[in-house]
Structure 1
Amino acid sequence: MNDAAVNDTRKAELLGTEVEHIDITSFDARPIVDAMKKMSFSSRDLGRATEIYNQMLSDPDCSIILVIAGSTSAGGCMDLYAELLKNNMVDCIVATGATIVDMDFFEALGHKHYQALEIPDDDTLRSLYIDRIYDTYIDEEKLQETDHTIGDIANAVEPKAYSSRAFIREMGRWLTKNGKKDNSLVKLAFEHDVPIFCPAFTDSSAGFGLVKHQVDAMKAGKPYMTIDSIADFRELTDIKIKAGTTGLLMIGGGVPKNFVQDTVVCAEILGHEDVEVHKYAVQITVADVRDGACSSSTLQEAASWGKVSTAMEQMVFAEATTVLPLLASDAYHRGHWKQRAKRAFGKLFD
């Protein structure tokens, strides 16, 4: 057997067990969340966070912004996020490019994430074109196909400046005709007029495809598309102004978290001095406060900047895949979403 065949066999062995995304509709977490409210430590924090999210859903004036950083989509929460969007439990999304492109769009093309049941040294993984996220594997060759698909979409749209929201909408439009997965967040967002923002969009597989798009266009002497990060900030601020009362459900932190919180300050700078701070806020994170950051400040610290109210906020210091399914299942089964008005904020930009 030649080396290529040996490598193909080894790669198939390592990519043998797919990550199965959790279905929050298949179990009712209300009893365990109610029990956890009577405990202490992170259990009680999660109980209060779940109460706050249910208050967001039951408040007829509250628009909910889902904020995602980290790799929870690859780790099994991809269908969870799709379920929240599909059932009108979120009205807008701010996320990392990796969440939207390397994970959701990647699986929408028919590719998979895999459980790393065996972890050889990472140089071996590199030789097999396997990328690792902690204990999760991605086929690098399939990821490169994703890069090229992003480039193809960029080649097909009008060569002009796009906010990340506008370009992700084009990705969703493309998936309605070419996608392999109905439960894709990008596809569902297009269909339900839920805007998705990625403030650092090119820090993902999209970046490779878009760079190639620009280089090829420049070599051919043709115009090319660009991503306008200022338009991102302006458009998300427009949504905050339009929404009025807002609640944040934040998984991780970093750029997406700070970006969405800054809309309050930006609205004030634009002359909307009556803009409300984010009334509700939940953050699930394992980030530490001792470096002065907590992946873009604690929620109470954000209040000093005039971004978040301290009355209805809760930090949950836990790895998100262990607690987010409980919060989301509890909220799904309590059913406050059934009475919510649909915002369809994507139509603001038509």
Structure 2
Amino acid sequence: MTDTRVDAQRKAELLSTEVRHIDIKSFDARPIVDQMEGMSFTSRDLARATKIYNTMLEDKDCSIFLVIAGSTSAGGCMNLYADLVANNMVDGIIATGASIVDMDFFEGLGHKHYQALEIPDDNVLRSLYIDRIYDTYIDEEQLQDCDHTIGEIANSLDPKPYSSRAFIREMGRYLSKHGKKDNSLVKLAFEHDVPIFCPAFTDSSAGFGLVKHQVDAMKAGRPYMTMDSIADFRELTDIKIKAGTTGLLMIGGGVPKNFVQDTVVCAEILGHEDVEMHKYAVQITVADVRDGACSSSTLKEAASWGKVDTTLEQMVFAEAGSVLPLLASDAYHRGHWKSRPKHGWAKLFA
């Protein structure tokens, strides 16, 4: 028979050290990035990528999209992304459901991610209800609270189709009233009219809550809300058409990257043949052609599809958590964001 007191003690030991999210405002990376410009390899790539991002911020006609895939939010970049929104350094977000729900919304509810100071048997972690992302832990019981909260939000809405943007806005509204963390990306995006799109939204904790919402409604014989992925694509394309000049700051690849790039092609199909390719693009990734091109298509390759202009683009092949803080801190301290117009693209759907 399992001693629950021993298990509780062991779980508390494993979940004793919180991940501390980096604060880009607390240090000035400009001298480092300036020196990297005179170096070679990834250092010089990062310096050029940072210069391109600063050019996006300087260009008052440019709408900037932050594209997030992977687990950088859980790994310590969560406040970094929130600071980009709070300081008008991005105008729209396209991300995986995990980044938005399992990580940011999760912490917005008051929960935490923890450093794994040791890597025990994963079967032991399972027995303690601890989930692992590389060297980061999540309390599964807290994650289930996130699932149930998503279900509660769904239950409170009119039973009709919603784009992920529309539903995530309701998540932000919930956090603005009930949240436990001021510096939440989802909350700040709601307050600053920055739309968030998750093209694979239910591939996250949101999926569990939404499935329960639907099943409970079906059993009770009442209508239920649904997610409209076509509306996602249409809405983001609407923004691209109206924005004109656009820039991409992409962390990782996969679905979010392709989704935002495809808006150019979609606009053309809708008859907007004069739509601009994304003028600026930076991608930080560890994927290359050796993975069978699953997520590794370069920005130059995207030009062949008519998605990205190749004049001001830069690939940075690095683990994003190690270089993104330098780029973001440099851009924050150069201060071009202070004179940017606020686009407020979420108001387009009000």
* Bin for the TM-score computed over the shorter chain: over 0.9
Q: Is the 8 A contact 2:24 2:328 kept in 1?
A: yes
8 Å CA contact 2:287–2:296 kept in 1: the answer is no
Contact 1:164 1:198 in 2 (8 A): yes
Aligned residues of 1:258 and 1:296 also touching (Cα < 8 A): no
* Counterpart for residue 96 of structure 1: 96
Inter-partner Cα distance in structure 2 for 1:168 and 1:202: 12
Residue in 1 aligned with 2:19? 19
User: For the residues of structure 1 that align with 2:349 and 2:288, how far apart are their CA atoms?
Assistant: 38
Q: Which position in structure 1 is the counterpart of 2:52?
A: 52
Q: State how 1:190-205 maps to structure 2 within 5 Å.
A: 190-205=190-205
**2:283 corresponding residue in structure 1:** 283
Deviations along 1:4-52, one digit per CA (max 9) or x if unpaired, are 0000000000000000000000000000000011000000000000000
Segments of 5+ residues of structure 2 without an aligned counterpart are none
- Aligned-pair CA distance for 1:294: 5.7
Shift of 1:143: 0.3
Secondary structure of 1:290's counterpart equals: helix
Distance across 2 between alignment mates of 1:262 and 1:324: 24
Runs of 4+ in 1 over 2 A off after TM superposition: none
* Aligned residue in 2 for 1:140: 140
Q: Secondary structure at the match of 2:114?
A: strand
Shift of 1:291: 3.5
Q: Which amino acid letter does the alignment assign opposite residue 258 of structure 1?
A: N
Report what 1:214 is aligned to: 214
Amino acid paired to 1:203:
D
TM-score normalised according to structure 1 size: 0.99
Give the aligned partner of residue 230 of structure 1: 230
1:293: how far off?
A: 1.5
**1:67 corresponds to:** 67
CA shift for structure 1 position 67: 0.1
Could you tell me how far apart the structure 2 residues matched to 1:291 and 1:264 are?
26
- Structure 1 CA distance for aligned equivalents of residues 27 and 216 of structure 2: 50
**C-alpha distance in 1, partners of 2:296/2:202?**
20
Match in the other structure for 2:320: 320
| Letter in structure 2 aligned against 1:75 | G
Deviations 1:282-341 (A, max 9, x none): 000001212442615110000000000010000000000000000000000000000100
1:35 & 1:330 partners in 2: Cα distance? 12
Partner of 2:86: 86
DSSP 3-state at the match of 2:315: strand
- May I ask how many residue pairs the two structures share in their alignment? 350
Q: How far is 1:128 from its partner?
A: 0.4
CA distance in 1, matches of 2:131, 2:264: 38
- 2:339 aligns to what? 339
Q: Indicate the percent of aligned positions where both proteins have the same amino acid.
A: 84
Secondary structure at the residue paired with 1:25?
helix
Q: TM-score, normalised by structure 2?
A: 0.99
In 1: Cα distance, 2:103 partner to 2:46 partner = 26
Tell me which moved more, 330-339 or 293-302: 293-302
Q: Which residues of structure 1 form unaligned runs of 5+?
A: none
Distance 1:3 1:35 in 2: 57
Q: Which amino acid aligns with 2:129?
A: Y
Return the letter of the residue paired with 2:273: E
Shift of 1:178: 0.6
The aligned residue for residue 169 of structure 1 is 169
Contact 2:288–2:297 under 8 Å retained in 1:
no
Supply the AA of the counterpart residue of 2:331: A
How big is each residue's C-alpha offset from its partner over 1:78-115, in whole Å with a ceiling of 9 and x where there is no partner? 00000000000000000000000000000000000000
Partner of 1:179 in structure 2?
A: 179
Corresponding residue for residue 241 of structure 2 = 241
Query: Matched residues in 2 for 1:292 and 1:272: separation?
Result: 33
For residues 175 and 298 of structure 2, the distance between their equivalents in structure 1, rounded to whole angstroms, comes to: 37
Q: Which residue does 1:151 correspond to in 2?
A: 151
CA RMSD, Structure 1 to Structure 2 (Å) = 0.9
AA paired with 1:309?
A: D
Residue identity opposite 2:184 in structure 1: S
